[in-house]
Structure 1
Amino acid sequence: MTTSEILLDPYDYDFHEDPYPYYQRLRDEAPLYHNPDLGFWALSRHRDVLTGFRNSTTLSNKFGVSLDPASRGPHASKTMSFLAMDDPAHLRLRTLVSKGFTPRRIRELEPRVTEIAVAHLDTLLEMAADGETVDYVDEFAGKLPMDVISELMGVPQADRAQVRAWADGVMHRDEGVTDVPPAAVEASLNLIVYYQNMVAERRAALTDDLTSALLEAEIDGDRLTDDEILGFMFLMVIAGNETTTKLLANAAFWGHRNPDQLTPVYDDPSRVPLWVEETLRYDTSSQILARTVVGELTLYDTVIPDGEVLLLLPGSAHRDERVFDDPDDYVIGREIGSKLMSFGSGAHFCLGAHLARMEARVALAELFTRIRGYEVDEANAVRVHSSNVRGFAHLPIHVKVR
Structure 2
Amino acid sequence: MADVTFSPYDYYDIDSDPYPVYARLREEAPLYRNEELEFWALSRHADVMAALRDPMRFSSANGPLLESSVWGPAAQRALSFIAMDPPRHTRMRAIVSRVFTPRRVAELEPHIRAAAHHHIQNAFSNEQFDFIADVSAKVPTDVISELVGVPPSDRAEVRRLADVALHREVGGREVTQEGLDALLVLVGHFAELVAERRNRRRDDLVSALLDAQVDGDRLTDEEIVAFLHLLVGAGNETTTNLLGNAVYWAWRHPDQKAKALAGHVPEWVEETLRYDTAAPTVLRSLTCEVELHGVAVPQGSRVLLLPGAANRDPVVFADPDCYDLSRDTGSMISFGNGPHFCLGASLARLEARVTLEELSARIADFDLDLSQARRRQSPYIRGFAALPMTTVR
| Structure-1-length-normalised TM-score | 0.95
Partner amino acid, structure 2, of 1:126 = S
Task: State the secondary structure of the residue aligned to 1:223.
Answer: coil
Secondary structure at 1:126 match in 2 = coil
CA drift at 1:80? 0.9
1:398 aligns with 2:387: no
The 1-side partners of 2:130 and 2:77 are apart by 34
The residue number in structure 2 matching 1:366 is 358
The DSSP-based 3-state class of the residue aligned with 1:334 is coil
Distance 1:232 1:210 in 2: 11
Counterpart residue number, 1:384: 376
**1:303 maps to which of 296, 303, 314:** 296
1:372 Cα deviation (Å)? 1.2
Match of 2:286 among 276, 287, 293: 293
- Once the 2 structures are TM-superposed, how far is the Cα of residue 101 of structure 1 from its aligned partner? 1.3
* Contact 2:366–2:391 (Cα < 8 Å) also in 1: yes
Query: Contact (CA 8 Å) 2:145, 2:232: kept in 1 or not?
Result: no
- In 1: Cα distance, 2:296 partner to 2:223 partner: 36
* CA–CA separation in structure 1 for the residues paired with 2:6 and 2:260: 36
Say whether 1:357 aligns with 2:357.
Answer: no
Matches within 5 A, 1:179-198: 179-198=174-193
**Structure 1 or 2: larger helix share?**
1
d(CA) in 1 for partners of 2:329 and 2:157? Answer: 38
What is aligned with 1:206? Answer: 201
**Larger deviation: 256-265 or 306-315?**
256-265
State how far apart, in whole Å, the 1-side matches of 2:255 and 2:3 are. 38
Amino acid at match of 1:216: D
Which segment is superposed worse, 384-393 or 342-351? 384-393
* 1:186-237 alpha-carbon deviations (Å, 9 max, x no partner): 2111111111111111111111111111001012221100000001001112
The alignment status of 1:169 with 2:164, answered yes or no, reads yes
Give the distance between the partners of 1:267 and 1:300, measured in 2 at CA: 45
User: Partner residue of 1:315?
Assistant: 308
The one-letter code of the counterpart of 2:9 is Y
State how many pairs are aligned. Answer: 392
Contact 2:261 2:360 in 1 (8 A): yes
For 1:31, give the aligned amino acid: P
The one-letter code sitting in structure 1 at the alignment partner of 2:278 is: S
Structure 1 residue aligned with 2:276: 283
| Maintained 8 Å contact 1:67/1:387 | no
Matched, 1:37 2:32: no
Task: Pick the aligned partner of 2:335 from 330, 343, 349.
Answer: 343
Cα RMSD of the aligned pairs, angstroms, is 1.2
Cα shift readout 1:112-144 (whole Å, capped 9, x = no counterpart): 11111111111111113xxxx211111111222
1:228-239 alignment runs, 5 A limit = 228-239=223-234
Q: Give the 3-state SS of the residue equivalent to 1:196 in structure 2.
A: helix
Kindly indicate whether residue 19 of structure 2 is the aligned counterpart of residue 20 of structure 1: yes
Tell me the alpha carbon deviations over residues 66-93 of structure 1, each in whole angstroms, 9 at most, x when there is no partner. 1122221111111111100001110000
In the TM superposition, residue 6 of structure 1 has moved relative to its aligned partner by 1.4
Match among 1, 4, 7 for residue 6 of structure 1: 4
**Residue 59 of structure 1 aligns with which residue?**
58
The answer as to whether partners of 1:65 and 1:290 remain within 8 angstroms in 2 is yes
Q: Distance in 1 between matches of 2:245 and 2:276?
A: 7
- The alignment partner of 1:207 has SS state of coil
* AA at the equivalent of 2:205: L
| Superposed CA offset, 1:296-349 (max 9, x none) | 110111000011100111100111111111100000121111x11010001110
CA–CA distance in structure 1, aligned partners of residues 137 and 338 of structure 2: 29
- The amino acid across from 2:377 in the alignment is H
| Matched residue SS, 1:75 | helix
- Hey, what's the Cα distance between the residues in 1 that align with 2:166 and 2:44? 28
In structure 1, runs of 5+ residues without a counterpart are none
Matches within 5 A, 1:28-107: 28-107=27-106
TM-score using structure 2 length: 0.98
Off by >2 Å, runs of 4+ in structure 1: 264-268
Please state how far the C-alpha of 1:159 moved relative to its aligned partner. 1.7
Deviations 1:139-177 (A, max 9, x none): 111222122110110111222122222222212222121
Greater alpha carbon shift after TM alignment, 348-357 vs 232-241: 232-241
- C-alpha separation between the residues in 2 aligned to 1:158 and 1:385? 28
Gaps of 5+ in 2: none
Aligned residues of 1:319 and 1:327 also touching (Cα < 8 A): yes
How far is the alpha carbon of 1:182 from its aligned partner?
A: 1.3
Q: What CA distance in whole angstroms lies between the structure 2 residues aligned with 1:164 and 1:286? A: 18
